[in-house]
Structure 1
Amino acid sequence: MRPDVVSFWHGPLDRLRLTCLRSQVAAGHKVTVYSFDPLPGLPDGVGNAEAEAILPHAFSEKLRPPGPDGSWHGWTILQFSDFFRMRLMTERAGVWLDADVLLLKPIEIDPAKPYFAWERPRQLGNSVLYLPPDDPIVRAFEGLMKQEELTPEWLALRHRVVFALRRLRGVSDRLSDIRISLYGPPAITALARRAGELQYALPKQSFYAVHAEPKLFFEPRDFSKLLGNPDVIGLHISPKGRGHEAPIPGSLYAWAAEKFR
């Protein structure tokens, strides 16, 4: 089955993300980006849907208070998206792709099975994610989201200790402040292990070949072996602030910008 592709975005999209969205359309997927405000300049074939209907904006206040002007700050966007993608799984919306996933070929899933990949040796990524709506991971997040304090029952002991110390010192009484990826890849990995679902994980090369080394994407080099690798389905870029930069000639980014324009 070739699923729809869904994601969430808050704020303006940079040129890298627009290139990646074009690649997802070019792979033959129906692509929808959810947002609270309209997203101008979306590529042809990319739809824009209202995020409030999936997860209310007010949920972000469980993560941390908004700024004086009502804006999000710190890790709010990233952590909100960790919950948003789970809500999309509940809604049977499709496969989640981060907006900075460059898709090189179509994604095919079995709707009855999880679809994710190893990001590093002992951790799954959640930049590419599909879970059946009744999956134990989805159910665990549904239970978590009913809490005001958002404290996972699967929380690792080291995180419990860190949180307890921060509360004693008066640093923060919100668990969401202790680690940016608290509800992301570590949570997915722990829950998949508990549910016996690590067997479904694709190899790292499927989506995370350049994730930890952005220079492999942004700097000039020979990328022919990467593109010729049959195990590579797409590339999660992790731009590290370089999303607005113009592509450098001879880079994989320049190749992608030309191919998906």
Structure 2
Amino acid sequence: MAQLPEIASLWIGGRLSWLEQLCLKSFADAGHHTTLYSYAPIANLPEGVVAGDAEEIFPSRPMYRHARTGSPAIHADLWRLNLLKKTDKIWVDADMYCYRPFDFSRQSVFGWEKPGLVCNAVLGLPRSSPALERMLEFFRDEYAIAPWLKPWQQAELQAEKDAGTPVHMTAQNWGFTGPAAVTHFLQQSGEIRYAEPVEAFYPVSFKHRNHLIMGKYDIESQLGPATRGVHFWARRMKPRLEEKENNRPRRGSFMARLIDKHEIDVDAAPIPPGARATEPRRHDPEFRARLALEALKGDASIEKLSRDHLVEPRFIKECRAILIDGAPRLFRDHPAQETQDTAE
């Protein structure tokens, strides 16, 4: 039997929650040599997972964080490209569960999340990959304008660049360094032909992610013979579990059964409270009205307003819609609306 490929991931932060422990241990339990890289020691690595020094792959300074969210996802995107250039490991996000061993015979390992988009939660490429080389070269320019954007989006970014205020990669739209880039360069090089079907890694969509933690859904019926992994969409899943589910999936759910299978102690590694400090401006009626008026005026796109004001595009659209409706609630505080804006 051929040796399974090595698996690697990156963790930027403190202790792992039980969700990361579950996912990482699933690879080790499946027989993969599994390394979790970090910039500081992690006290609660799951059994079978090896610690790695992230500095050996890509430096921690500067730390590339998304300007609006503060997330280090951009840094992780750049880090994984350097991992692939320096090692033969397959990258997995720390919220990717190993349903079956990743017993691929080739080094090009990635899959469709949905039609037209390859997700980078699983990414393996040979060091000689043309797409990998082009991505590394493209992101050397931290103010690069993505050729996969629509013409009007490129024109808007170019105008800002020409005006002496180029948009840094950390201020670009969410995902700029992630799936959109990976998909573009794989298509450009022709390596897109190696993409696995949606069933391989993303059989449960982002839209239906909460089915994974509810007992009434038969997840196994959605997992076919091509399924190797199941993505848990932690960016949205963890707040749901911590805020609404008592920090654990519901009894009888797919995820609850996996916790038992891999002997994960949920109580020993709870999901920490989300860092969702209330943004005072979101409740400021003058700020909401000004955003709505700027959006209606149309001199700048919703995306540019989002970058300029560091708020979600959806929030701007909702302010605009309320103003169009003529509803006076735009000019009042709305805690309930805030919850709807920020939680899915």
The count of residues paired between Structure 1 and Structure 2 equals 250
Counterpart of 2:144 (choices 140, 148, 151) is: 151
1:124 — aligned with what?
118
* Structure (1 or 2) with the greater helix fraction: 2
Q: What does the per-residue CA deviation read over 1:112-166, in whole Å, with 9 as the maximum and x for residues that have no partner? A: x42110011110010011000110121113223433x241564534542343466
Instruction: Could you tell me which runs of 5 or more consecutive residues in structure 1 were left unpaired when the two chains were aligned.
Output: 66-72
Worse overlay, 3-12 or 152-161: 152-161
CA gap 1:49/1:152 in 2 versus in 1, 3 angstroms:
farther
Distance 2:164 2:17 in 1: 38
Distance 2:158 2:249 in 1: 45
Deviation at 1:64, TM superposition (A): 6.4
1:109-258 to structure 2, matched below 5 A, reads 109-111=104-106, 113-147=107-141, 149-151=142-144, 154-156=147-149, 157-164=151-158, 173-212=167-206, 213-220=208-215, 221-227=217-223, 229-239=224-234, 240=236, 241-242=239-240, 244=242, 245-258=247-260
Worse overlay, 154-163 or 32-41: 154-163
Give, as a single letter, the amino acid of the residue that structure 2 aligns with 1:225.
S
Distance 1:257 1:81 in 2: 26
Counterpart of 1:43 (choices 43, 46, 64) is: 46
Distance 1:208 1:81 in 2: 20
Deviation at 1:93, TM superposition (A): 3.9
Distance 1:152 1:130 in 2: 25
Give secondary structure in 2 for the equivalent of 1:57. Answer: coil
Deviation at 1:110, TM superposition (A): 3.3
Deviation at 1:243, TM superposition (A): 5.6
2:6 — aligned with what?
4
RMSD: 2.4
Bigger Rg over Cα: 2
Normalising to structure 2: TM-score of the pair?
Answer: 0.67
Give, as a single letter, the amino acid of the residue that structure 1 aligns with 2:103.
E
- Does structure 2 conserve the Cα–Cα contact (< 8 Å) formed by 1:208 and 1:235? yes
Worse overlay, 99-108 or 166-175: 166-175
Instruction: Could you tell me which runs of 5 or more consecutive residues in structure 2 were left unpaired when the two chains were aligned.
Output: 264-344
Worse overlay, 201-210 or 167-176: 167-176
Distance 1:243 1:215 in 2: 9
Deviation at 1:224, TM superposition (A): 3.3
1:26 — aligned with what?
29
